[in-house]
A and B are shown apart, each in its own frame.
Chain A
Amino acid sequence: MTEKIDYEKIGLMCGIEVHQQIDTNKLFCSCPSIVRDDKHEYEVKRNLRAVVGETGEIDVAAAHEQSKEKHFLYYGYKDSTCLVELDEEPPHVMNKEALDIVLQTSLMLNAKIVDEIQVMRKTVIDGSNTTGFQRTALVARGGIIETKSGKVGIPTISIEEESCKIVKREKEFDIYNLSRLGIPLIEIGTSPDIKTPVHAREVAEKLGMILRSTGKVKRGIGTIRQDVNISIKNGVRVEIKGAQDLKSLAKLVENEVVRQQSLHTLSKNIHVSKVHDLTKMLEKTSSKVLRKTLDNSGAVLGIKIEGFSGKFKWEICEGKRFGTELSDYAKAIANVGGLFHTDELPNYGISEDEVESIKKELHVKENDAFIIIADNKKVAEKALEAVTFRIHNPLIKEVRKANEDATTTFLRPMPGAARMYPETDTVPIVPDVKHIKLPELIEDKIKRFEKEYGLSSDIATPIVKEGMEFEAIVRKYKKITPLFIGNLLINTPREIKRRYLKDVDVMIHIDEILPKLENGEITNEAVFEIFVDIANGNRIDYSKYSQLNEKEIDKEIENIISDNKDKSSGAIMGIVMNKFRGKIDGKKVSEIVNRHLK
């Protein structure tokens, strides 16, 4: 993908912000950090208002949210939400364990820790925080990481509280799940040093690796999110929120660059008509969508856009049409359900005749286009004004949401500086880093395991990445080779899965089985067979694998050989192994067979 665009030439400025959940209790209360998705146990209804910030102005992003005049329903759970999440009790002292992990990460990123940490309130009134703000504190500045494409600066490392998870957005209210609120997050922001979309992914991966090296961050879907800041020479600065999938991060950056390049080509002189009321004309429509609005004393309003025929279908970047872009904006600004445009009509029960009469009413000529919106008259008016604004200003500084298909959707205007003010319910913290030790980086540890224990990269990598207690097991069972243990942890479950399509958790049984191996009660081969039994749900019968004494085996092997004189040594070996599998070490069998065959 990098071949298509010369990112240096188009002046790509890109930085990312990584948000990673920390695996401790919550940041400002003693609730456990459990994210629940099951049925809630109570709910609370709240409103939020845009308040005048520190600078005496209401933040534009905050004002945008309030203009939607929604209220919020919060779903609570008894085990993971308390009065602090409900905004009914002041925050407790900041979780020291969580702060230590942020301090540790700051040191790993070679950042300078601030002398005194001040907790701030960042205004957020989309309802995702019951307080109307997110508590956040800058912990360190001026870090740096090395990447294949050069150094990337880390100007800010902060600790902050996680927001509520959205459950559902309704027209009048949004529903949020309270359980996630307050989980500690570390936020790492990079400088705009990222050179290409692929580089963005590399930086995100590297930061993720560093975070996981602490061993104290949450794993799994939704526990790490990336925000991306992008601008190009002919474009604007856009912040994209909530990219969860590293694989599509590069595509996300590329799509945004393409979106900005496309929209830059849009003519600056598009004539859009004023808003027309089409209610009367359509009062007898049989279109269900329109009927619903009209029967609720709503209105159908329309605008004409000159020379815009076909433009709604225009793919401004892969997977995103201009029509969708306009409709996203109208939805966000005016809270409308959607819009209808020429390129998709007749449809939705709106007949060809109706389309024709709309065209006539709006004086739509061959190359022109129209948009209609059905809603409460004031809302529809506001939505069409928003659409008109967007056609004239297709590129504005804004916050967009990352979608699963690597496209983005308008979320809100870019927040201003009026956003942060001090959290007066906490005292500043003088950080103490004396006791903080730096963990071994995952990538270094993999290399060390390969070197020190002779593991292949194939085995060392999953052991380290999944944080398996490999070294503890090696230390505990000194007579068993690290190689055997590595194989057991990684290859045994893989092999069982391949052969029997069953999952087996090696770790659960390891302290039962390995002592028997160490004592010579069972053989190396028996270990695999035992796990096969476990995977198949059979009872473990150690007697099956108890080692036969050498004399008996010697005798049996002699018999087998004399019964199979015509067979090759390999075939005889096979027959013998079949009989003694798990009961005696394979090496020993081959030794005896060879002795007798001689």
Chain B
Amino acid sequence: MTYKPGDSVKVFTKEETIEGVVLPRPEMLEGDFLIIKLENGYNIGVDKKKIEKIELIKKAIPPLIQKKEIITNPNLPNISILSYGGTISSKIDYKTGGVYADLTAEDFVAMCPELEKIANLKAKKEMNMMSEDFDWNVWERIAKDVERELNSGQDGVVITQGTDTLHYTTAALSFFLRNISKPIIVTASQRSIDRGSSDAFINLICSVKAAANFDGAGVYSCLHGTNNDDYCLLIRGTKVRKMHTSRRDAFRPINELPIAKVYPSEKEIEIINKNYVNKNNGKVIHNTNHEKKIAMIYVHPGINPKIIDFYLENNYKGIVIMATALGHVPTIIEENSFLPFLKKCKEKAIPVVIATQTVYGRVHPLVYTNLRKLSIEYDCIYVEDMLPEVAYIKLGWALGQTQNKKEVKELMQKNISYEMNERIDEENFLY
């Protein structure tokens, strides 16, 4: 007989009869079991080999979701929420295994009724992709979506996506969008929204609040500031990094203070770092020209530098090296030495950018002989305290602006979107 997930059935095995609803089973799991939801709510797996007969009792009825209508309040700012996937925006129908949410403004308000009091929401599900699969095309798409929203008169934009590569998105938007005049807030959640403890609710409330009320323009992340459900941190898009696999306060500002604390309550946004451009009425323009063939190499003791040959042979146009500490790569032992390969890059005019794998701190082109060798003799580009992921995005963008290596170098070493700090304060470490 045929049955589909969601159908009520009676399963007969030699030993017993089991009544319940058929559920889908993830395909990658071993073994062949039929998942049944019993009347008491529990799911169990029944070995298919033991099943003698399955009787259909009732066909599945798709869930009927009623949506509440939203009333526009002319006194509130207009904010767009654009969704691109991740746990913050996936709702699974456990009966069929399908994703059913279409993430309209009504859905967000149903999830967080507080949002209605902060802004008039416009929401659109743009895409549903896990953030580890994001690439240059996705970033380009997001930049254009944001430009469209802001230039159609919205007061701010909230982007939701998966957490894993969120800091690449904020970096990409920071370069792909020029003349940003409004807050562009990127948020996500570490706990899925189908659990009562999800960080999504406060992240969303604070993000919409930041998009609506923050007086600055630019790209910022907005997620939990601590592991309490207290407030979110507004962190500059070029200075943010995911620093923990699973904690809700995983996103931290690196080498500078967060811009502000945003509270989910009535409490006003608390500015911590005033170094930002004020909100204005300028028109946002996109400049999404970029080069995709950028490599990122993580230096480690015993590394085989021949990997660079692979990139050169495959026509890569730029390399970011996550060097050790101040910007070192192996140079002495022949089989590990980067020097012959860096020479090749120089000859081919392939820009090599040096950022640090310590994440915190600044690289320095001069303090040691080897650093001088790299920066002067091999023309490697040292990018101060720029995060390696930001350097990766920026190099792709810079190569989209010019193919001239000298100009690329100049662009890389010029502050475009607050990606480098001239000063690093004592309190900027491990915030």
Contacts and interface: CB of A to CB of B under 8 A. Distances in A.
Interface string A185-213: 00000000000000000000000000000
Contacts of B93: 54
Interface in A21-63: 44-52, 54-56, 62
A557 to B, nearest CB: 75
Contact of B196 (A44, A123, A156, A158): A123
Given A51-B195, A133-B196, A421-B194, A115 B246 contact: no
A142 B47 contact: no
Given A49-B198, A51-B194, A88-B248, A115 B227 contact: no
A137 interface: yes
A361 interface: no
B63 A56 contact: yes
Contact of A142 (B16, B95, B196): B16
A417 B41 contact: yes
B344 interface: no
A79 interface: no
Interface stretch (A124-132, A323-331, A518-526): A124-132
Interface stretch (A2-10, A262-270, A422-430): A422-430
A132 B46 contact: no
B29 interface: yes
B201 A115 contact: no
Contacts of A424: 92, 192
A46 B39 CA distance: 32
B196 A49 contact: yes
B191 A87 contact: yes
B246 A89 contact: yes
Contacts of A46: 197, 228-229
Interface in B192-232: 192-198, 201-202, 227-230
Interface in A102-139: 112, 114-118, 120-123, 125, 130-133, 136-138
B42 interface: yes
A90 interface: yes
Contact of A132 (B23, B33, B94, B197): B197
Interface in B27-46: 29, 31, 33, 35, 38-46
A138 B246 contact: no
Given A54-B95, A55-B63, A83-B246, A118 B196 contact: no
Contact of B44 (A48, A87, A90, A117): A117
A394 B107 CA distance: 37
B15 interface: yes
B64 A420 contact: no
A130 B196 CA distance: 9
Contacts of B44: 114-118, 138, 141
Contacts of A112: 15-16
Contacts of B194: 51-52, 421
Contacts of B292: none
Contact of A115 (B33, B193, B196, B247): B33
Name the residue in B40, B41, B94, B95 with the highest tally of chain A Cβ atoms < 10 Å from its Cβ: B41
Contact of B42 (A62, A130, A132, A138): A138
A138 B40 CA distance: 10
A88 B246 contact: yes
Contacts of A117: 44-45
A62 to B, nearest CB: 7
B196 to A, nearest CB: 2
A130 B227 CA distance: 12
A429 to B, nearest CB: 9
Nearest to A89: B246
A119 to B, nearest CB: 9
Nearest to A429: B45
A142 B227 CA distance: 43
B41 A120 contact: yes
Interface in A275-305: none
Given A56-B64, A132-B196, A118 B42 contact: yes
A145 interface: no
Nearest to A131: B197
B47 A115 contact: yes
Interface residues of A, number: 51
B65 interface: yes
Given A46-B229, A88-B246, A112-B16, A428 B45 contact: yes
Nearest to B246: A89
Nearest to A142: B16
Given A56-B65, A120-B41, A422 B229 contact: no
B50 interface: yes
Name the residue in B31, B38, B43, B229 with the highest tally of chain A Cβ atoms < 10 Å from its Cβ: B43
A106 to B, nearest CB: 13
A88 B196 contact: no
A86 interface: yes
A116 B36 CA distance: 10
A217 to B, nearest CB: 22
A137 B29 CA distance: 18
A419 interface: yes
B251 to A, nearest CB: 14
B20 to A, nearest CB: 11
A593 B39 CA distance: 80
Nearest to B248: A88
Nearest to B63: A56
A216 B256 CA distance: 53
Given A54-B95, A118-B42, A138-B38, A71 B229 contact: yes
B247 A83 contact: yes
A79 B29 CA distance: 35
B229 A47 contact: yes
A422 B31 contact: no
Contacts of B35: 116, 118
Contacts of A132: 195-198
Interface string B386-412: 000000000000000000000000000
Contact of B31 (A56, A116, A118): A116
Nearest to B101: A52
A421 B229 contact: no
Contacts of A44: 227-228
B40 to A, nearest CB: 7
A51 B198 contact: yes
Given A89-B246, A116-B33, A137-B42, A51 B47 contact: no
B42 A48 contact: no
B40 A51 contact: no
Given A45-B230, A112-B15, A131-B197, A122 B41 contact: yes
Contacts of A121: 195
A207 B198 CA distance: 37
Contacts of B197: 46, 48, 87, 130-132
A146 B64 CA distance: 46
A576 B225 CA distance: 83
B43 A62 contact: no
Interface string A410-442: 000000010111101001101000000000000
A205 B195 CA distance: 36
Interface of A: 44-52, 54-56, 62, 71, 83, 86-90, 112, 114-118, 120-123, 125, 130-133, 136-138, 141-142, 156, 158, 417, 419-422, 424, 427-428, 430
Given A45-B228, A89-B246, A421-B94, 9 more contacts: A44-B227, A46-B197, A46-B228, A49-B198, A50-B196, A115-B46, A133-B195, A419-B41, A420-B43
14 contacts: A44-B228, A45-B228, A45-B230, A48-B196, A51-B198, A89-B247, A115-B33, A118-B45, A132-B196, A132-B198, A138-B40, A419-B41, A421-B94, A424-B92
**3 A-B pairs closest in CB distance:** A132-B196, A116-B45, A420-B41
